[in-house]
Chain A
Amino acid sequence: MTTAKGDTTLLTVEHETVSYVAGPLLVAGQMTGVGYDELVEVVSDGRVRRGRVLALEGDRAVVQVLDGTTGLSLPGTRVRTRGEVARVAVGDDLVGRILDGSGTPMDGGPPLRAVEYRDVNGAPINPVARNHPSEFIETGVSAIDGLNTLVRGQKLPIFSGFGLPAAELAAQIASDAAVPAAAEDAFVVVFAAMGVTQREAAFFRSTFAGSAALERTVLFLNTAEDPAVERLLTPRAALTVAEHLAFDRGRHVLVVLTDITNYCEALRELSAAREEIPGRRGYPGYMYTDLASLFERAGRIRGRAGSVTQLMILSMPDDDITHPIPDLTGYITEGQIVLSRELDRRGISPPIDVLPSLSRLMNAGIGAGKTREDHRAVADQLYAALARGRDLRRLVSIVGEAALSETERRYLAFADSFEQTLVNQGATRRTIEQTLELAWTLLRDLPPDDLKRIDPALVERYAGPGATVDPPTA
């Protein structure tokens, strides 16, 4: 039992008083002394399953059974209280290990040597103690580094659709995210897979568990065939481990959570089983609060060396960005990277649509001394020009290209080459310098007077005559 704190000191009381079992839930009587949200053990035919208390009324407790309720019977089932909330082992020893959805090793390795066992729910970071994220992370992906910059301590989801290469992008970022060479050993990836298929699990295993990558990875795997309610525990266990590595051990942790949609389905399943009043599309009214309790665990703390950066993959059902899952997520996270099915069909890789994408913390992480002095202005100009080019593309589909003026044709061409060269980089890794140089190459094709968002001095320096040599970096 990885979730047990010790052994003999625990309060253990057994009750054979189960009166209701259905779906993931059971109701047990005579449960005096058990606390809300505490862990219990459900014992039937010698098998021990873990459960969590969802509600208490008098001596009755509603229990969510983490390992499934198949085979339980009313007379033969006993519920044992443990007197503590769910906990997970934390420590450096977890790095390099593959664990199941609740933190038990499943890689055949030795038992975990845990520093301690921690409450998976964590505690909210006091906003006063937070350190504002401002350290640039070079992911090597131009559409992110150049236009939607990721910084340490940020939470940034990838809004994907079924069949789009979000997992590949996340894997690319996790393996390429650059850290200063000296801090190489300070970088750790904590990967939590929730409800993934065997095919996806195999992909993540081969990506992260292969060779050198595993030495800096903790992998939590809850697959689609594991009990759905265990999925609610998986990200919490992963984030608890990440917080320990970051704030107690000084490491820079990149937490990858996939797939948030599977997590929300599990939340809805449990809510329906409890016969709660459903909110939009049947998801519970507290889904915002529940997701926030995960995502807000990203950040930095003043006076502590490490950081927790979150990258979540979220499959938008029917590619609908207004669906409750992406919608509520977008309200909590600090921006979003949006993948486009249209770009994917056109063979653009990675198919990042930069217009609806956003990084709210970008301003804090870029500029002279961090990336380059022209970064903000170049990004703004690219956005404005791309938006204009896209509008024209729509217009051309109606009135034909002949109706466009010379200037308008240049914007149309800009939109095309932006997608074909800057976004479409495949698996190559680009430095931020390379990304910005490429951006200037594209901007030089626009009328110089139209570069309204860039200081003329910067235009002169980077696009004027003689600017072909690499300008000095700050």
Chain B
Amino acid sequence: MTETRAPVRGQAADVGTVHAVSGPVVTARGLPAARLYNVVLVGHARLPGEVIRLDAGDAVVQVYEDTAGLAVGEPVADTGEQLQVELGPGLLGSIFDGIQRPLTTLARRADDPVGEPMIERGASAPSLDRSRAWLFEPDVAEGDEVSAGDVLGTVQETGALGHRVLVPPGVAGAVTRVARGQVRVDEPVVWIGAEPLTLLSRWPVRLRRPIARRLALDQPLVTGQRAIDSLFPIARGGAATIPGGFGTGKTVLEQSLAKWSHADVIVYVACGERGNELTEMLDEFPTLTDPRTGSPLLERTVIIANTSNMPVAAREASIYTGITIAEYFRDQGRDVAVLADSTSRWGEALREVSSRLEEMPAEEGYPAYLSTRLAEFYERAGAVACLGGGERTGSVSIVGAVSPAGGDFSEPITQHSLRLAGTFWGLDTNLARRRHFPAIDWNRSYTLYDLDAWFDDEVAPDWHAQRAWVLQLLQQESSLLEIVQLLGADSLAPAERVVLETGRLLREDFLQQSAFDDVDAYCALPKQHQMLRVVHAAHDAMAAAVARDVPVETLAAAPVLREPARMRSWPDAEVAGNADALVERIRHDLEEL
């Protein structure tokens, strides 16, 4: 298996027997040479599992499938390899389960694409389609000296994305032979020395892929979501966490990011969530086009789906499967966003397996190594200079949703995620109940990435000043609202009541954004800037009016102040003109009062 460059290779093909079974945890005996995290095949049904503990003569295995019917004494075969994913053309547009089984292939029976609607135990198929041929266009010639990360050639995987075939890590030497034309993923395309390389390579999921060096995080991952880009942006190569109780819109927000983020590749990890939500994505994504490339959104998307009723151990693996695929595209010089929904379900899978192992629990029954595992995941985000020639740079950004028990952010997964992620979008149940979406709580959320310089250079020079103004005004509004709750609005000075009016404009006409409206779902940066400019102008005009003793009620009833509500539906081309005109009308009308 020359395409494998896993640094750890075990001795293959030992066979032991099942000694104990408890849910997804199986103890095997008679595997003295088993290594930690080797993949074993359990029972007559050959259910895949991973060795997670070695204890004297026992190898403890977490099994990725339902173990019902498994009996003591059935065989357990060591494959000698770690859990790996297949990497190569055909990943984009595919949907896999947590251990990269192709769900579309598993559902097919003969000519019926859904002839096998249930996932039966022990079902398996190669992750990448072996029958499909790809047009390989080499970039190297015989005699070239190449090393890890160099581009061997390109496959046009989708309309939008050229799939760069790289020299795998650990391989170097002179090219001795080059094939071109239509090839399948497991056919050799380039020989280095005597070693044939295929389009397909493999990589162990728990191991990060090597890079040349890390780069500073100084560019935003533009999302088209106003509350995010304008207030709490995430850096390209950064990490964000979205905690929120149920019904606060985590999944809708993750899906909006999957649709509109300025990334070349999206890896969507649906970890322990609802099957119907995935179906919605699968129905919708082929019909949506990426505004930046004009191709269907599905063509830049890889979905890893381990819904809540699929086996729990595979849910644990799904996060690693997703991030490894993301790193593979990053190494080709792409910007990749990993959207994980939800990391809590992954943590619960850890907890369940840990509990079956009778490990000493830490907080709320989670194992003590929870924070280490979360760190291993989040730290795989980054902007990097890739291995190989050609000065490629790529990035992996991670957005992890968290489902805190009882909506209480003090629970371990939220707290550990906060420590690791640079951006925090806290979703608030009260906002959600008012149908204020996205329900990002501006008083609690923050970003640690300093991206103001980029926005000032690329969008508008006063971007950072405007952002500071909005944050300060919202802060002021929330302290005033506390007073209003106790004493009523009459107790406030007119200037303070203007802050409340502006706060309402900001909340209703700017921060709220409909993920289901064709125009509003994505808001370009210049439009975000202009919308804020209008609100800011309205604020200044109202402040000037109350200074002339115009009553706040009169201001609030001014028809022109209803107009900002229509800003969201302005087409991009008309934004600047509309904003100028509206600012002018607001100034004029309020001066008349």
Structural contact, A395 and B508, CB atoms closer than 8 A: no
Structural contact, B68 and A383, CB atoms closer than 8 A: no
Contacts of B312 in A (CB 8 A): 286, 289
- Of the stretches B18-26, B135-143, B169-177, B463-471, the one at the interface is B18-26
A279 adjacent to chain B (CB < 8 Å) = yes
**Contact A129:B114 (CB < 8 A) given known A36-B67, A56-B71, A449-B562:** yes
Structural contact, B355 and A297, CB atoms closer than 8 A: no
- Of the stretches A96-104, A138-146, A356-364, the one at the interface is A356-364
Show 19 residue pairs from A and B whose CB-CB distance is below 8 angstroms, ordered by the A residue.
Answer: A85-B69, A121-B66, A123-B118, A127-B103, A128-B107, A132-B280, A284-B355, A285-B355, A286-B355, A289-B309, A289-B349, A292-B272, A296-B309, A302-B117, A330-B247, A361-B276, A364-B280, A383-B435, A395-B488
B420 adjacent to chain A (CB < 8 Å) = no
A59 adjacent to chain B (CB < 8 Å) = yes
User: Quick one: closest B residue to A34, CB to CB?
Assistant: B71
A288 adjacent to chain B (CB < 8 Å) = yes
Structural contact, B70 and A280, CB atoms closer than 8 A: no
- In the bound complex, how far is the Cα of B283 from the Cα of A126, in angstroms? 14
Structural contact, A405 and B66, CB atoms closer than 8 A: no
Contacts of A247 in B (CB 8 A): 117
Which 8 A-B pairs have CB atoms at the shortest separation, nearest pair first? A292-B308, A322-B406, A296-B309, A129-B117, A330-B246, A37-B68, A123-B118, A57-B20
B419 adjacent to chain A (CB < 8 Å) = no
Q: Which residues of B contact A (CB under 8 A)?
A: 19-23, 27, 66-73, 95, 103-104, 106-107, 112-114, 116-121, 245-247, 270, 272, 274-276, 278-280, 282-283, 305, 307-310, 312, 345, 348-349, 351-352, 355, 358, 361, 364-365, 403, 405-408, 433-435, 484-488, 490, 508, 516, 553, 559, 562, 565
Judged by DSSP, the binding face of B is mixed
User: Quick one: closest B residue to A450, CB to CB?
Assistant: B562
Contacts of A55 in B (CB 8 A): 20-23
Structural contact, A279 and B21, CB atoms closer than 8 A: no
Structural contact, A293 and B351, CB atoms closer than 8 A: no
A331 adjacent to chain B (CB < 8 Å) = yes
| Other A-B pairs, 12, CB within 8 Å; known A38-B69, A332-B308 | A34-B71, A37-B68, A279-B351, A289-B308, A293-B309, A296-B275, A302-B114, A322-B408, A323-B406, A383-B435, A403-B488, A449-B562
Contact of B365 among A278, A293, A355, A387 (CB under 8 A): A278
A301 adjacent to chain B (CB < 8 Å) = yes
Structural contact, B19 and A279, CB atoms closer than 8 A: no
**Contact A296:B274 (CB < 8 A) given known A124-B118, A128-B95, A128-B282:** yes
Number of interface residues of A (CB under 8 A): 80
Structural contact, B282 and A127, CB atoms closer than 8 A: yes
**Contact A130:B365 (CB < 8 A) given known A32-B72, A36-B71, A285-B348:** no
- In the bound complex, how far is the Cα of B272 from the Cα of A153, in angstroms? 19
Structural contact, A123 and B120, CB atoms closer than 8 A: yes
Contacts of A356 in B (CB 8 A): 247, 433
Contact of B276 among A58, A293, A334, A394 (CB under 8 A): A334
How many cross-chain pairs have Cβ atoms below 8 Å apart between A and B? 218
Contacts of B485 in A (CB 8 A): 394-395, 398
**Contact A130:B20 (CB < 8 A) given known A285-B351, A358-B247, A380-B435:** no
User: Quick one: closest B residue to A396, CB to CB?
Assistant: B488
Structural contact, B68 and A85, CB atoms closer than 8 A: yes
CB distance from B335 to the nearest CB of A (A): 27
CB distance from B414 to the nearest CB of A (A): 14
A133 adjacent to chain B (CB < 8 Å) = yes
Structural contact, B283 and A124, CB atoms closer than 8 A: no
CB distance from A33 to the nearest CB of B (A): 6
A115 adjacent to chain B (CB < 8 Å) = no
Contacts of A57 in B (CB 8 A): 19-22, 27, 72
Structural contact, A36 and B434, CB atoms closer than 8 A: no
Q: Which residues of A contact B (CB under 8 A)?
A: 32-38, 54-59, 85, 119, 121-133, 153-154, 247, 276-280, 284-286, 288-289, 292-293, 296-297, 299, 301-304, 322-324, 327-328, 330-332, 334-336, 355-356, 358, 360-361, 363-364, 380, 383-384, 387, 394-395, 398-399, 403, 405, 449, 452
Structural contact, A331 and B403, CB atoms closer than 8 A: yes
Contacts of A280 in B (CB 8 A): 364-365, 405
**Contact A58:B119 (CB < 8 A) given known A127-B307, A449-B559:** no
- In the bound complex, how far is the Cα of B33 from the Cα of A347, in angstroms? 71
Structural contact, A296 and B307, CB atoms closer than 8 A: yes
- In the bound complex, how far is the Cα of B118 from the Cα of A299, in angstroms? 12
- In the bound complex, how far is the Cα of B23 from the Cα of A54, in angstroms? 8
Contacts of A128 in B (CB 8 A): 95, 103-104, 106-107, 114, 282
- In the bound complex, how far is the Cα of B106 from the Cα of A126, in angstroms? 8
**Contact A125:B120 (CB < 8 A) given known A276-B355, A285-B351, A322-B408:** no
Structural contact, A286 and B307, CB atoms closer than 8 A: no
Structural contact, B69 and A36, CB atoms closer than 8 A: yes
**Contact A124:B119 (CB < 8 A) given known A59-B72, A292-B272, A399-B487:** yes
- In the bound complex, how far is the Cα of B348 from the Cα of A434, in angstroms? 45
Structural contact, A58 and B22, CB atoms closer than 8 A: no
CB distance from B158 to the nearest CB of A (A): 19
Contact of A299 among B276, B351, B435 (CB under 8 A): B276
Which of B107, B113, B408 neighbours the largest number of chain A CB atoms within 10 Å of its CB? B107
Which of B69, B70, B508 neighbours the largest number of chain A CB atoms within 10 Å of its CB? B69
Contact of A303 among B70, B112, B365 (CB under 8 A): B112
Structural contact, A36 and B68, CB atoms closer than 8 A: yes
Structural contact, B69 and A126, CB atoms closer than 8 A: no
**Contact A322:B307 (CB < 8 A) given known A125-B118, A127-B103, A128-B103:** no
Structural contact, A289 and B348, CB atoms closer than 8 A: yes
- In the bound complex, how far is the Cα of B103 from the Cα of A126, in angstroms? 7
CB distance from A133 to the nearest CB of B (A): 6
**Contact A299:B490 (CB < 8 A) given known A36-B71, A358-B247:** no
**Contact A126:B117 (CB < 8 A) given known A296-B308, A355-B433:** yes
Structural contact, A327 and B309, CB atoms closer than 8 A: no
Contacts of B274 in A (CB 8 A): 296, 332, 334
Contacts of A33 in B (CB 8 A): 71, 73
**Contact A299:B406 (CB < 8 A) given known A38-B69, A327-B246, A403-B490:** no
